[in-house]
Structure 1
Amino acid sequence: MVQKYVACLVAVIVFPFIVNAQKIVYSPPDRDDVRSVDFDIIGKIGDKYLVHKQVRSNSSISVYDDGMQLTDKVKMDFLPDKIINSDIIAYRDYFYFIYQYQKRNIVYCTAAKMNSEGKIVGEPVILDTTAINFFASNKIYNVIYSEDKQKICVYKINSKDETNYLFTRSLFDASLSLLNKDEARIAIRPRVDFLTEFALDNDGWMVFVKASGSAATSNNGSIQGMTLMMKPPNYDNISTYVADVPKVYLDDIRVKVDNINRHVLIASFYEKQKRGNVDGLYCALWNRNTNAFVNSNLLEFNDQLKSNAKSEGSARAAFNDYFLQSIILRKDGGFAVLSESAYSSSRGVYNNRWNYLYGSPYWGSSNFYMYGSPFGYYSYPWMNPYGFGGPQINRYYADNIAVLSFDSTAAMEWASVVPKSQYDDNSDNFIGYGTFITSGEINFLFNQFEKRTLLLQAQSIDPQGKRAEAPTLKSLDRGYQFMPRYLKQIGSRSVLIPCQYRNYLCFAKIEF
């Protein structure tokens, strides 16, 4: 009787930990992959898990079952021999593979509908074409879509005239039916004005920012003016709204659409003097109901926050190496801003935030291309997610993560810092972090060295800003190296994360 009671007591105590324990399932390494394979995690489509891979000019869709066993590898034979760029928009039961290619002097932007088996449905649909007089080694078209994925926008910017950009947009619904096509002119002052990332709201309104600064360095820690640009559907003109920017210098501008509250959020670090230390964060809220800015705040970081955010042993000022990476919205109009300390060095030369055109040394983000421009991409630098460096030794660093929470008026509620210290040589694949949301918590996954072993760590921050460090993940088989910053959330408590096993690419499904 006593033994039965003890057994029941042990079961009651242990059961919650069993329920909350994570489960990891690995896919078998793909021996056909080479070290320079490019990949995109498409996600869960139907009851399958799909990954797009490209090795040189060969593209395929790898199809995995619930146990992460490879059930099929479908060659994308319908693609031309060389594609310039590709984008993926995933739905519950299908996804669109949107690609660009050039044939003679015509660049095509084309979409293929693919099912959960990785096979094309019907014929590819040409979304737009552009006649050019050169070979397009880089993309011409940019693809963005709304949060509910019911609006898809394909746009291009011709900057051949450096003072008057030609902006052309095609707007489609979720079935790729053309809703409207229009164009507009954007007045630009050369070497003073530049454009930020673009966003699309659920109603088809296009949003971006034209920033203005001093000549030659306008996007490098010296932005002093900012205009919100709004392009509604079925309307050729672009509406402009000048933001109230105090006498500070902005950089790393991010734009986020809040569809629930019909807001547009603009966020940027700021410095009080050009190329000085980062002093705080600038936030501005624009309301679509009133067509006006409703609030703008300058949040100056206090000494305590700077001390918490500063990497251990660093001689540089806090936040000088930080980059804004994502904005997480709340239903009540509040939001959280996530940033990470990231920098690199090459042959002993330290590269900080001002050594990069716009954004971090390795973290990919929204970018766009302007054809006809001598400068090409205006974007965050992007690295091959499975590539390796050349003969020159580059060391990449990724340190602490800062999370700043704001209410619906853009007033700061709390700040929390997730401490970490990472570096790697020639490859940035295994540093950085990935996030996923569960029950209002922001969860972070990242690699940390423990006793000379690289282990995957999990930490979380709740809605009140309290940080919790989870125990080291179990079932971390030896030999697997995770790439957490490329993870994709595929369920309410599950993620798909790429990893490397003996120099081969594979994927792990983790259920929390």
Structure 2
Amino acid sequence: MSGRFNGINILLKGCLAAILLLHINSYAQKIFYSQPERDDSRNTAFEIIGKVGQHILVYKDNNGDEAISIYDDEMNPVNRVPLRFRYNLLNVDFINYPNQFILIYQYQYRRYVYCYGMIMDENASIKGQPVLIDSTDVGFGNLKHKLYSVTYSDDKQRILVYKINQNKELTNIFYTFLLNDQLQLLNNSRVSLPMENRKDYLTGFNLDNEGNFVFVKVGKANNKDLASDAWMVCKPAYEDTFYTAPISLNRRYVDEFKLKLDNDHHLGYAVSFYYDGRKNDVTGLCYVRYRYLDDSVDIVRFIPFDDNLKAAARNGAARDDAFDEYFLRQLILKSDGGFLITAESFYSSSGYNPWNRWDYLYGPYTLYPYYDFYYTPFSPWFYSPFYRSMGYSRFHYNDIAVLSYDGTGKLEWSNFVRKDQYDDQTDDFLSYQLMNTGLALHFLYNEPYRRSYILRDVTITPDGKLNMQPTMRSLDRGYVFMPRYGKQISANETVIPCIYRNFVCFAKIQF
């Protein structure tokens, strides 16, 4: 009898071990690290291009010595291809495809700025000849920033290169160049957009799959004020006209808008925090839906944050200022017509410059890039050691709010990723990367650990369930991740830059 029970116990233990092994393997991930390269110090600027063919490509800039590093699927070096730009390079933009990528670059030579595009393969070899997109006479002074901006559609079949000139009458004059994925010109336009006030600004530039250009125009009285007016704006792909539709704020105020386009239904979704008064606390979320082909705003909802949500945001008692340190990070559209937002708690402190939400929103390098004569929004994925702390001495990046709404603006569920991050003089290792696998959202961030950091992975499922995943395997000592500069390169892979002994390296994480 006892032998029979022993057999059953052995069988049960074997089943339990198999179940545990299956659970572990269901989350098994692999991490591959690149080795430090001699020229890639911590002062190297870089941008992760992505996966092209069988290779992973990274653009690097070492004080004007530009190159593309090519890695295999396990981050072993394959080649380093120099990019020999002859003159004052102002900016580069990349658009990657399964078997090639597009490089759009601009440089100044004497009194002209030239913008070119070229197609390159997975080995960073040029296919055909570079294509001149446009040139601009800027005089003999040396520009310090880019002149042209680039946006592209979700399917990457339409690319828009544009520049904005603001004249003395506060009119923004757009020069747009619509291209296909072979850099063939489909349309170019010169079109004006009046600005009612010098402090008005534009944000949320998007391009749909047909080439329609959509963004938000926001009206402010002065630098420190919240916005009291807002408009949705659309330039149809083949028309030389801007269509504007006002957003009825009803004496409420807004700050930064996030905008996403639903290509299937020709809808624009825009969200912003809103305020009941000019200097009040964050009251809730403003949700706007824009039918851009009809030039009509059909939904404007002001969704207040209730006491339960405020208490969760503070991880304690509900307070009116619960969301004052939160900033919108991502807007994700759902297949059922709803949307999801993420917002991160962020503030900085120093002995001589007190923290102010409005300084952060409307200070340099954020929503006010009207330097010199042209408007120059910059890519959020480009790391440069020269964009530094604007005088702040300590940075704090804390909890992440994740809020899911249906198509009418009703809150379906909410959750919070709890973290407590701070660092002095730099925030390179703080904040997080969001990775969307379709089955869950992965929030990758550094957690302080023994005078350094350890990379954490928290997932949230489509129904709002939060899971703290086990500590990742293969987290080699000495590699410190910079998650905020990472890039998802496939449905289950991401590349994150690291610092190793003062060198820049890259790690591929495969889930």
TM-score between the two structures when normalised by the length of structure 2: 0.91
Shift of 1:377: 5.0
Residues 317 and 399 of structure 1: CA distance in aligned 2, closer, same or farther (over 3 Å): same
Q: 1:160 Cα deviation (Å)?
A: 2.9
Counterpart for residue 500 of structure 2: 501
The letter of the residue matching 1:129 is S
Q: How far apart in 1 are the matches of 2:337 and 2:389?
A: 45
Deviation at 1:342, TM superposition (A): 1.5
- Alignment deviations for residues 193-244 of structure 1 (CA, whole Å, 9 cap, x no partner): 3222311111111111221132x23xx4521111111100221111111112
- 1:22–1:496: structure 2 CA closer, same or farther, 3 Å change rule? same
* Range with bigger deviation, 424-433 or 158-167: 158-167
**1:337 is matched with which residue: 306, 321, 341?**
341
Match of 2:185 among 175, 178, 185: 178
- Helix, strand or coil at the partner of 2:146: coil
CA contact (8 A) 2:45 2:384 kept: yes
Partner AA of 1:356 in structure 2: Y
Match of 1:302 in 2: 306
Helix, strand or coil: the match of 2:401? strand
Once the 2 structures are TM-superposed, how far is the Cα of residue 381 of structure 1 from its aligned partner? 9.4
Q: Distance in 1 between matches of 2:486 and 2:229?
A: 36
Q: Report the counterpart of residue 37 of structure 1 in structure 2.
A: 44
How far off is 1:31 after superposition? 2.1
Q: What is the alpha-carbon distance in structure 2 between the residues aligned to residue 158 and residue 387 of structure 1?
A: 26
8 Å Cα contact 1:158-1:371 kept in structure 2: no
1:382/1:492 CA distance change after superposition, 3 Å: closer
Asked whether the equivalents of residues 273 and 285 of structure 2 are also in contact (C-alpha less than 8 Å), the reply is yes
Match of 1:140 in 2: 147
Counterparts in 2 of 1:80 and 1:281: CA distance versus 1, 3 Å: same
Would you say the 8 A contact 1:107–1:130 is kept in 2? yes
Instruction: After the TM superposition, list the runs of 4 or more consecutive aligned residues in structure 1 that deviate by more than 3 angstroms.
Output: 1-9, 288-291, 311-316, 364-371, 376-393, 450-453
* Counterpart for residue 126 of structure 2: 120
- The whole-number CA distance in structure 1 between the counterparts of 2:492 and 2:95 is 21
What does residue range 96-111 of structure 1 map to in structure 2 within 5 Å? Answer: 96-111=102-117
Stretch deviating more after TM superposition (15-24 or 321-330): 15-24
Query: Which one of 70, 83, 92 corresponds to residue 89 of structure 2?
Result: 83
- Equivalent position of 1:356 in the other structure: 360
Quick check: 1:221–1:250 contact (8 Å CA) kept in 2? Answer: no
Letter in 1 for 2:244: T
**1:348 to 1:417, Cα distance in 2 relative to 1, 3 A:** farther
Instruction: Compare 329-338 and 2-11 and name the one that shifted more.
Output: 2-11
The whole-number CA distance in structure 1 between the counterparts of 2:294 and 2:237 is 18
The 5-angstrom pairing of residues 142-161 of structure 1 reads 142-161=149-168
- The aligned residue for residue 470 of structure 1 is 469
Kept in 1, the 8 Å contact 2:311–2:317? The answer is no
Q: For residues 152 and 383 of structure 1, what CA distance do their matches in structure 2 show?
A: 19
C-alpha deviation, 1:429, in angstroms: 0.9
Which residue pairs with 2:326 in the alignment?
322
For 2:54, which of 47, 58, 74 is the aligned residue? 47
Residues 208 and 228 in structure 1, CA contact (< 8 A), matched pair in contact too: yes
Q: 1:304 to 1:58 in 2, by over 3 A?
A: same
Aligned residue in 1 for 2:75: 68
Letter in 1 for 2:459: S
Q: Matched residues in 1 for 2:451 and 2:66: separation?
A: 37
Shift of residue 391 of structure 1?
12
Are 2:235 and 1:236 equivalent residues in the alignment? no
1:442 aligns with 2:441: yes
Task: Determine if the alignment matches structure 1 residue 280 to structure 2 residue 280.
Answer: no
| Amino acid aligned to 1:273 | G
SS of match in other structure, 1:320: coil
Match of 1:480 in 2: 479
The alpha-carbon deviation at position 313 of structure 1 amounts to 11
* Separation in 2, partners of 1:88, 1:366: 23
Q: Which structure 1 segments of 5+ residues have no match?
A: none
> Please, which moves more after superposition, 188-197 or 85-94?
188-197
Secondary structure of 2:18 counterpart = helix
Question: Residue 203 of structure 2 is aligned with which of 196, 200, 208?
Answer: 196
- Post-superposition shift, 1:409? 2.1
Between 13-22 and 2-11, the greater mean CA deviation after superposition: 2-11
Does the CA contact (< 8 Å) of 2:346 and 2:396 recur in 1? yes
Structure 1 residues 390 and 242, CA, compared in 2 at 3 Å: closer, same or farther?
Answer: closer
For residues 382 and 87 of structure 1, the distance between their equivalents in structure 2, rounded to whole angstroms, comes to: 10
Alpha-carbon distance change, 486 to 367 in structure 1, aligned in 2, over 3 angstroms: farther
- For the residue of structure 2 that corresponds to 1:349, the secondary structure is coil
SS at match of 1:137: coil
Amino acid at match of 1:352: N
CA contact (8 A) 1:357 1:380 kept: no
SS at match of 2:257: strand
Deviations 1:405-455 (A, max 9, x none): 111223222221111110111111100000111234211000011354411
Q: Find the aligned partners of 2:444 and 2:413 in 1 and give their Cα distance.
A: 21
Q: What runs of 5+ residues in structure 2 fail to find an aligned partner? A: 1-5
CA contact (8 A) 2:31 2:508 kept: yes
293 and 448 in structure 1: CA distance in 2 versus 1, 3 angstrom threshold: same
Distance 1:383 1:75 in 2: 18
Distance 1:389 1:222, change over 3 A: closer
Measure how far apart 1:34 and its partner are: 2.3
Percent of aligned pairs sharing the same letter:
38
| Change in 2 beyond 3 A, CA 1:105/1:316 | farther
- Aligned position for 2:3: none
Alignment check: 8 A CA contact 1:142 1:369 kept? no
Residues 350 and 310 of structure 1: CA distance in aligned 2, closer, same or farther (over 3 Å): farther
CA distance in 2, matches of 1:28, 1:442: 29
Cα distance in structure 2, aligned partners of 1:314 and 1:474: 38
Structure 1 position 275, deviation (Å)? 2.2
How many Å separate the matches in 2 of 1:289 and 1:100? 32
Deviation at 1:153, TM superposition (A): 0.4
Deviations 1:352-392 (A, max 9, x none): 32112538x9xx9899767626xx65679999445696896
* Separation in 2, partners of 1:467, 1:365: 31
Counterpart code for 1:66: D
CA gap of 1:36–1:367, structure 2 versus 1, over 3 A, is farther
* Aligned-partner Cα distance in 2 for 1:35–1:227: 42
Distance in 2, matches of 1:383 and 1:53, equals 10
CA 1:415–1:19: 2 relative to 1, 3 Å = closer
Summarize the Cα distance change of 1:389–1:201 in structure 2 as closer, same or farther, 3 Å threshold.
closer
Query: For residues 145 and 318 of structure 1, what CA distance do their matches in structure 2 show?
Result: 36
Contact 1:275–1:354 under 8 Å retained in 2: no
Deviating more after overlay: 135-144 vs 183-192: 183-192
User: CA-to-partner distance for each residue in 1:165-195, whole Å, 9 max, x for gaps?
Assistant: 2111110111111001111111112335322
Contact kept in structure 2, 1:358 and 1:379, CA below 8 Å: no
Letter in 2 for 1:114: M
Q: 1:289 to 1:108 in 2, by over 3 A?
A: closer
Mark the CA change 1:497 to 1:313 in structure 2 (over 3 Å): closer, same or farther: farther
Aligned residues, how many?
A: 503
- Residue 408 of structure 1 is matched in structure 2 by 407
Q: Which residue number corresponds to residue 174 of structure 2?
A: 167
Q: Secondary structure at the match of 1:246?
A: coil
1:489 aligns with 2:500: no
